[in-house]
Structure 1
Amino acid sequence: MRSWWMQTDGAHSALELRDGALPVPGPGQLLVRMHAAGLNRGEFILAHGLHKAGAAKAIGMEGAGEVAQAGAGSRFKAGDRVMGRCGGAFAEFALMDEREALAVPANLSWEQAASVPLVFLVVHDMLVLQGRLRAGEWMLVNGVSSGVGVAAMQLAKALGARVIGTSGSAEKLSRLQAQGLDVGLCTRGADFHDAVMKATADKGVNLVINTVGGTVFAEDIRCMAFQGRLATVGYVDGVLKAEIDLQALHSKRLTLFGVSNKLRSPEQRAEGVPRFVAEVLPALADGRIQPLVDKVFPFEQLEQAKAAMEANRHLGKLVLAMSPA
C-alpha cells in the first residue's frame, strides 16, 4: 500500500510517498481503508516536537474510511463507515484504535468525516471538558479562521455561547459571521483588548482559545473576565514564551491550561471519546454542526496541500482524498 512519510533533520522536512506492507490489526484495532484524511498544521511544524531529527515517520493524524478488518471482539465489522484519530492517516490503509473510532453519521461525506475526529475532539476538550463553557458566556478565539478556530466557533454556538474571533482576513471574518460569528476583529496583532471589552460590556470573555501563540498571550489575559479560562492549543507564530500578569491571574482567579495529546497515553486520549459521542456527535448527525471543508486535494498532492495550508488562505479544513482502490 502507499503512504506518506515525513523526514526531518530538525530544521527542514521533506515528504515522501512510499510503498509498504499492509498493516495487520491486533486486538482493539481496526484496519481501515482510508477514503479521506484531514490536514493539521501542528504535525508539519517541527517546533511542536512531533518528529525526531534524523528519523522518518508515517504522517496523518485523522481520517475516515471503511473497516477492512477488525481485531478480535470488535464492535465494528468489515464495511462499517468509521472516522477517528489515527497515526499514519495519509495512506491507503491505516490502523485505528477502536476506542478512538466513531461511526460516521449518514449525512457526512468522507471529506467532512475526515475533518472531524482530531479537531472536534480537541475542541470538545477545550470548550467542555476543561473550558466549562456555558450558554450565554463569551468566548474569544485568536485565529478563528483556522480549522480549530472554526470548529471552536461552531461548537460554542451549539452550546449557546457568544463568540469573538480575530483573523487577518476581513473576507474570512465576513464568511464566518454569516455562519454565526458574533464579533469579527480583523487583526493579526495584540491590539484587540478595547474591542473585546466593548463587545462584552467591559466584563471580558469567559474563555479564550489561543491558536496563535506567545504574541497574543498577554493581550488575552487582559481580555479575560473574572474566573476566566484560557486554553493554549497552538503557537503558529513560533513564540513560545510570554509574560504572565500575576496580579490579574491572582485577583481574577484565572485558569490557564494547555490542550495537547503529545504526552498523553492511548488510555488518556480515549477518556473523552464517550462524552464526545454523547454530546457532539448528535449535533453533527442532525446538521447543527456542519464541518467546514475548504478544499480537497487528491492523495498524490499532499505537498501541494501542505503548501496551501502554509499559505494560510483557507477557511476551515484542508482534506486529502485517497485514490480509488
Structure 2
Amino acid sequence: MKAIEISSFGAPEVLRVTERPQPVAGVGELLIRVAASGVNRPDVLQRMGHYPVPPGASDLPGLEVAGEIVAGDAEAMAAAGFAIGNLVCALVAGGGYAEYCVAPVAQCLPAPRGWSTLEAASLPETFFTVWSNVFERGRLQKGETLLIQGGSSGIGVTALQLAKALGATVIVTAGSDEKCDACLKLGADHAINYKKADFVAEVKRLTDGKGVDVLLDMVAGDYVAREIDCMAEDGRIVIIAVQGGVKAEFNAGVLLRRRLTVTGSTLRPRPIAFKGAIAKALREKVWPLLEAGAIQPVIHSTFAAIGEPSGAAQAHTLMESNEHIGKIVLTW
C-alpha cells in the first residue's frame, strides 16, 4: 500500500509517499480501506519529533480515518454490529496516513447517516477528545457556561457545537474577526478576538462577574493564571495541549477560595478499553445529534494524500499557519 511517512524530523517537506506492507488485523481489530484521514495538531508535533509514538503503534502519522471495512476479527465485529463492507470512522494510535489502516473494533464508529466518508474522517480525534475532556473530566452540564480557547480550531468547532446541542452557553476566543464570526455562525453565544480585547475582562463582563463553569484550554503556559481569574466558583479548567508552554504560575489562593479544579489529559496513550468506553458514549449520546443535523461538519480544506506537491505537506503547512477554521482532511 501507499502511505505517508516521516522521513526525518523537521519541516512539512519531510513527509513523503512510501510503500509499506498492508497491515493485518489481529484479534479485536478490523482493517479499513481508507477513504480519508483527518489531520491534527499531534501529527505536526510527531513530525517535528515532539510527540513520541506509543509502544506498539505504527510509526506512520495519522490518528483518525474513515473508510470501508475489508477484513477483521469476525466475532469482535459481529459483537459491535459491524460487517465487511460497512463504512466506519475510527480513532487510531497511529497509521492513519495510509491506504489501509488497522483499528481496534472498540474504537470504531459507524459513519453517521447523511455524512460522507470524508466528513466522517473529521470526527474521531476531536469528538473523542472533547467528550472525554469537556463532558467527562470537565463535567459540563446543561445550563452551565463553557469557555473554549481557540474556538475556530478542529477541537474548538466540535466543542462549541456539542456543548450548544447539549444545552450549555458557549464563549470562544479566536485570533481574528473572521474566526470569531465563523464561531458565532456555528452557534457560539459570544466570541472574543483575543488580539483586540482582554479575554479575562470580556468573560467577566459577559457573565456579569460570575465567570465560566468549564474552560477548555489548548494553550497552558501563562494563560493558566489568567484563566483562573475567569472561573466561577467550583469551576473546572481542562488542559489538553501546551502550545503556550508547559510551566504555569498562578494564584493558588484564588483556586482555594473559589474551589477550582485544574486538570488535563492526553488521549493517545490511553488503553483501548478507555477509548472504547468513549466510543460507546459517543454512539449513544452524540451520533443521534450528528444524524439529526444538530451538529454540522466543518471542513476547511482537503488535500489529495498522494500527489505532487505532497498533499500531506500542504496540509501540515496550513495547520501550522493557524489560518484554518475547522478540520483539514487528506483524501486517498
What TM-score comes out, normalization by structure 2 length?
0.91
Give the equivalent residue in structure 2 for 1:194: 201
Q: Structure 2 CA distance, aligned partners of 1:69 and 1:211?
A: 37
Of 221, 236, 241, 1:229 maps to: 236
Q: How far is 1:256 from its partner? A: 1.3
Give the equivalent residue in structure 2 for 1:29: 29
Given the alignment of the two structures, is residue 137 of structure 1 paired with residue 144 of structure 2, yes or no? yes
Contact 1:70-1:77 within 8 A present in 2 as well: no
Q: Structure 1 CA distance, aligned partners of 2:179 and 2:168?
A: 21
Give the equivalent residue in structure 2 for 1:151: 158
Task: Specify the code of the residue in structure 1 equivalent to 2:300.
Answer: D
Given the alignment of the two structures, is residue 273 of structure 1 paired with residue 279 of structure 2, yes or no? yes
Q: How far is 1:302 from its partner? A: 0.5
Q: How far is 1:50 from its partner? A: 2.7
Contact 1:211-1:232 within 8 A present in 2 as well: yes
Q: Structure 2 CA distance, aligned partners of 1:97 and 1:108?
A: 22
Give the equivalent residue in structure 2 for 1:58: 60
Q: Deviations over 1:101-157 (max 9, x none)?
A: 101112101121000011011101122111111122111111111110111101110
Give the equivalent residue in structure 2 for 1:38: 38
Q: Deviations over 1:240-289 (max 9, x none)?
A: 11113211111111111112124322222222221111111111111111
Task: Specify the code of the residue in structure 2 equivalent to 1:4.
Answer: I
**What does residue range 214-293 of structure 1 map to in structure 2 within 5 Å?**
214-237=221-244, 239-293=245-299
Q: Which runs of 4+ in 1 moved over 4 A?
A: none
Give the equivalent residue in structure 2 for 1:119: 126
| Cα pair distance change 1:47/1:299, threshold 3 Å | closer
Contact 1:294-1:318 within 8 A present in 2 as well: yes
Of 61, 79, 89, 1:83 maps to: 89
SS at match of 2:59: strand
Of 304, 307, 316, 2:314 maps to: 304
Q: Structure 2 CA distance, aligned partners of 1:258 and 1:190?
A: 26
Q: How far is 1:90 from its partner? A: 0.9
Q: Structure 1 CA distance, aligned partners of 2:286 and 2:2?
A: 33
SS at match of 2:152: coil
Q: Deviations over 1:149-186 (max 9, x none)?
A: 11110111011111111111111111221221111111
Identity %: 35
Q: Structure 1 CA distance, aligned partners of 2:221 and 2:8?
A: 25
Give the equivalent residue in structure 1 for 2:70: 68
Contact 2:152-2:182 within 8 A present in 1 as well: no
Contact 1:190-1:219 within 8 A present in 2 as well: no
Contact 2:36-2:66 within 8 A present in 1 as well: yes
Given the alignment of the two structures, is residue 319 of structure 1 paired with residue 329 of structure 2, yes or no? yes
| Cα pair distance change 1:2/1:169, threshold 3 Å | same
Q: How far is 1:190 from its partner? A: 9.0
Contact 1:8-1:51 within 8 A present in 2 as well: no
Q: Deviations over 1:33-89 (max 9, x none)?
A: 00001110122124753359xxx9211100100001121312222110000112211
Moved more, 259-268 or 214-223: 259-268
Contact 2:107-2:272 within 8 A present in 1 as well: no
| Cα pair distance change 1:189/1:93, threshold 3 Å | farther
Contact 2:157-2:186 within 8 A present in 1 as well: no
Q: Structure 2 CA distance, aligned partners of 1:235 and 1:119?
A: 16
Task: Specify the code of the residue in structure 2 equivalent to 1:61.
Answer: L
Q: Structure 2 CA distance, aligned partners of 1:62 and 1:307?
A: 19
Task: Specify the code of the residue in structure 2 equivalent to 1:140.
Answer: L
Q: How many residues align?
A: 317
Moved more, 179-188 or 111-120: 179-188
Contact 1:173-1:184 within 8 A present in 2 as well: yes
What TM-score comes out, normalization by structure 1 length?
0.93
Q: Structure 2 CA distance, aligned partners of 1:47 and 1:165?
A: 30
| Cα pair distance change 1:7/1:245, threshold 3 Å | farther
Note the residue ranges of structure 1 that are not aligned, 5 or more in a row: none
RMSD: 1.8
Q: Structure 2 CA distance, aligned partners of 1:200 and 1:317?
A: 30
Give the equivalent residue in structure 1 for 2:15: 15
Note the residue ranges of structure 2 that are not aligned, 5 or more in a row: none
Moved more, 272-281 or 31-40: 272-281
